[in-house]
Copies of this chain bind each other. A is one copy, B any other.
Amino acid sequence: MDAGDEGQLVKEWHDLVVRHAVVHQSLERELQARHGIGVSEFEALEALACSENTQCRAQDLTDVVHLSQSAASRLIARMEREGFLERALCEADRRGILVVLTDEGRERHLEAQPTHRSVLARTLRETG
């Protein structure tokens, strides 16, 4: 790796960070303002909505939201408190839990999806 490669690498990372920050901050702001949910909540809702039977293992959600295991556990607890999902015992492996989308959760996802897409369309295009 010569100096030019290194400069290229740093520039590539910098561009990625800026792009991510712009889109993520816009998403957070608009999802919060219009629908009262954050980016992580939306990602979890979307993952559930796209899962078979609108349910999945807690661990699968952890991967989706790019959070630590503990943060994901609390995210699920929060969303259950708000009525977006329910926790159910997982018969196949009784250490785990099954996270199930509620009707309320499905509605909220459908409401928020257009906002999500329009923010992506605007911010991803404007940042090249």
Q: Hey, which bits of chain A sit against chain B, CB under 8 A?
A: 1, 6, 9-10, 12-13, 16-21, 23, 66, 117, 120-121, 124
Complex copy number for this chain: 2
CA–CA, A21 and B68, complex, Å: 12
A16 and B17 contact, Cβ closer than 8 Å, known pairs A6-B117, A10-B117: no
- 10 CB < 8 A contacts A-B: A1-B117, A10-B117, A10-B120, A13-B23, A16-B16, A16-B19, A16-B23, A17-B20, A18-B66, A21-B66
**Which residues on B sit within 8 Å (CB–CB) of A19?**
16
User: For the complex, would chain A's binding face be called helix, strand, loop or mixed by DSSP majority?
Assistant: helix
Give A39 Cβ to nearest chain B Cβ, in Å: 9
